[in-house]
Amino acid sequence: MIEIRKTEAYTRWLDGLRDIRARARVLARVERSHQEIRAMLNRLGKESLNCE
């Protein structure tokens, strides 16, 4: 399972963003990246099972 951690530095940086839309875009992109990575790992896992 993949895990995305919020570091203290990231949290401070994100909290310091004044532009609410920018903050929303960053959060959306992090979530989208998380979903893309999970999908890629699922595909890789299925491909490795098919190689046996």
Q: What is the pLDDT of residue 52?
A: 47
The one-letter amino acid at 6: K
Rounded Cα distance, 49 and 2, in Å: 19
Pairwise CA distance, residues 20 & 18, whole Å: 6
* Low-confidence stretches of the chain (pLDDT beneath 50): 52
d(CA 38, CA 36): 5
pTM: 0.69
